[in-house]
Amino acid sequence: MLKFCKQCVKTSTGALLANKGRSFLTMLGIIIGVSAVVIIMAVGAGAQSLILSQIKSLGTNLIGVIPGKSENNGPPAQALGIVITTLTYDDAKALADKKNAPNLEAVSAYSKDIATVSWGANAYDTNISGTSASYVDVEGGEIELGRFFTAEEEKNLSRVVVLGSMVKDQLFGESYPVGQRIKIKKQTFEVIGAMKKRGTVAFQNYDDQVFIPVVTMQKIISGVNHLGFIRAKVDGQENIDRAINDITITLRERHNISDQSSLSDDFTVRSAAQALDIITTVTNALKFFLAAMAALSLLVGGIGIMNIMLVSVTERTREIGLRKAVGASNNDIMLQFLMEASTITLTGGIIGVIIGSLISVLISVGANLLGYDWDLVISLFSMILALAVSVSIGLIFGLYPARKASKLQPVEALRHE
């Protein structure tokens, strides 16, 4: 049996090498499909690691409160572009009260907008972050020049602003910004500080924004009474569940929600760990969905293999007749053609894995050169799976031509011109 298999491999290789161009074109669909699967799995894993590392960099002891009810494993409504107005500044103040949530070290409210800021002849479009005086305690970051605004300035609608480092550079260049007056939506603000360069964290560019008191943002800039979200810092990882429970109870009392099952909640409370779990679930589903879509090209390659094997059966009819005349059985002929189909797909799969891996490496290097913390993840599982699927495609789509070849009668086959 082993000798026969070796002979089949030798014969299959010879038949494929006799038509190099046709064999390569037949393999092309398999090469593209396998490459696409390897690339998508690698890029998906790299992107997933980037997203998770960005969120972890904010800290795992943060809790986010967003308006509107969200499913436990689903994205918030805000992610779908829906504006919900159920959170207020007074909600944030209630959570900051130690009587309501004793394990919260700091609470910050947020209201976001985009506007043009200007100083003299210089203008720059940037993100306006209305936030609390406790912003630095919650989010981190350091002041480079001047200071951050105080709780008193937050409460009194003070027109003060702290610049992100990119905005500072765009507006003032080498000039000293503290004490200068800039305009935001035609409203004049005094620059009281500038942040140190921080870069992009959790896909938010901390340098390309300015910070003003949240109440000033609501009343003077945006003209709204609701918040975009609230973030709170917990005094210890072990107290996160208790803090979430305290936040939930406080907001239900404030929003007059008597249903304790969470079905009637008009807000969602999530810790950083829960957010990580949700993002992992979503990105895994997306990664495997895209890989499945890429694998469809393997079906196209399989159809090409079936076509070429049918052509090969027709071209080699006399050869088949001669082999059967000297004693080859139907199973021998079938195994021969299945071996040829499998050789094509296995070779194409190996080439596809190599090409896909090289492209994945280039993507990883390019992403890291652009400043992203991109991990190169090429799993052995994805390679083995891609090769197994490619060989299976060869066996499945090669079966019909192989059966057709095995059914040929020796006399009729030898008469074939």
pLDDT band at 178 (very low <50, low <70, confident <90, very high): very high
Q: Which residue has the tokens 């088949």?
A: 320
- Whether residue 306 is predicted with pLDDT greater than 60 in this model: the reply is yes
Q: Which residues contact 233 (CB under 8 A, 6 or more apart)?
A: 59, 61, 62, 63, 104, 105, 106, 107, 137, 138
Per cent of the chain over pLDDT 70 is: 77
pLDDT at residue 28, as a whole number: 80
Range picked from 119-123, 305-309, 310-314 for highest mean pLDDT: 119-123
User: What is the residue extent of each domain of the chain?
Assistant: 2-54+278-415, 85-265
Rounded CA-CA distance 186/118 in Å is: 9
Residue closest to 47 by CA, chosen among 374, 405, 274: 374
Range picked from 26-40, 386-400, 401-415 for highest mean pLDDT: 26-40
Number of other CB atoms surrounding residue 412 within 10 Å: 10
Which tokens sit at 205? 């560019």
Which tokens sit at 271? 């810790």
Rounded CA-CA distance 392/368 in Å is: 36
User: Cα 58–114–145 angle (5° rounding)?
Assistant: 60
Cα distances from 298 to residues 155, 288, 347, in angstroms, run: 63, 16, 14
Number of other CB atoms surrounding residue 289 within 10 Å: 12
Residue 368, CA atoms < 13 Å, CB-side half-sphere? 11
Question: Which pTM was predicted?
Answer: 0.62
Rounded CA-CA distance 165/129 in Å is: 14
Range picked from 51-65, 201-215, 393-407 for highest mean pLDDT: 201-215
- pLDDT for 258-294, tens place per residue? 877 767 788 888 887 666 666 677 777 777 777 777 6
pLDDT at residue 79, as a whole number: 54
Q: Which residues contact 365 (CB under 8 A, 6 or more apart)?
A: none
Q: Which residues contact 132 (CB under 8 A, 6 or more apart)?
A: 92, 107, 108, 109, 138, 151, 154, 213, 214
Which tokens sit at 390? 């490619």
- Whether residue 89 is predicted with pLDDT greater than 90 in this model: the reply is yes
Average pLDDT over residues 125-131: 94
Average pLDDT over residues 84-109: 91
Range picked from 17-31, 49-63, 244-258, 364-378 for highest mean pLDDT: 244-258
Map residue 117 onto helix, strand or coil: strand
pLDDT band at 346 (very low <50, low <70, confident <90, very high): confident
User: CA quadruple 71, 72, 75, 78: dihedral positive or negative?
Assistant: positive
pLDDT band at 251 (very low <50, low <70, confident <90, very high): very high
- Whether residue 205 is predicted with pLDDT greater than 90 in this model: the reply is no
Which tokens sit at 218? 């609501």
- Whether residue 317 is predicted with pLDDT greater than 90 in this model: the reply is no
User: CA quadruple 313, 315, 320, 325: dihedral positive or negative?
Assistant: positive
pLDDT band at 19 (very low <50, low <70, confident <90, very high): low
pLDDT band at 118 (very low <50, low <70, confident <90, very high): very high
How far does the chain reach from its first CA to its final CA, in angstroms?
32
Rounded CA-CA distance 189/153 in Å is: 12
Q: Which residues of 231-245 are buried (b: 16+ CB within 10 A; e: fewer)?
A: bbbbeeeebbeebbe
Contact 283, 48 (CB under 8 A): yes
pLDDT band at 203 (very low <50, low <70, confident <90, very high): low
Bridge partners (DSSP) listed for residue 113: 128
Bridge partners (DSSP) listed for residue 108: 231
Average pLDDT over residues 104-128: 92
Number of other CB atoms surrounding residue 138 within 10 Å: 24
Output the average pLDDT for the chain.
80
Rounded CA-CA distance 271/281 in Å is: 16
Cα distances from 114 to residues 128, 141, 185, in angstroms, run: 6, 21, 10
pLDDT at residue 212, as a whole number: 96
- Whether residue 95 is predicted with pLDDT greater than 80 in this model: the reply is yes
pLDDT band at 375 (very low <50, low <70, confident <90, very high): confident
Per the model's pLDDT, the better-predicted residue between 36 and 178 turns out to be 178
Per cent of the chain over pLDDT 90 is: 30
pLDDT at residue 2, as a whole number: 54
pLDDT at residue 189, as a whole number: 96
Rounded CA-CA distance 182/258 in Å is: 47
Rounded CA-CA distance 383/349 in Å is: 9
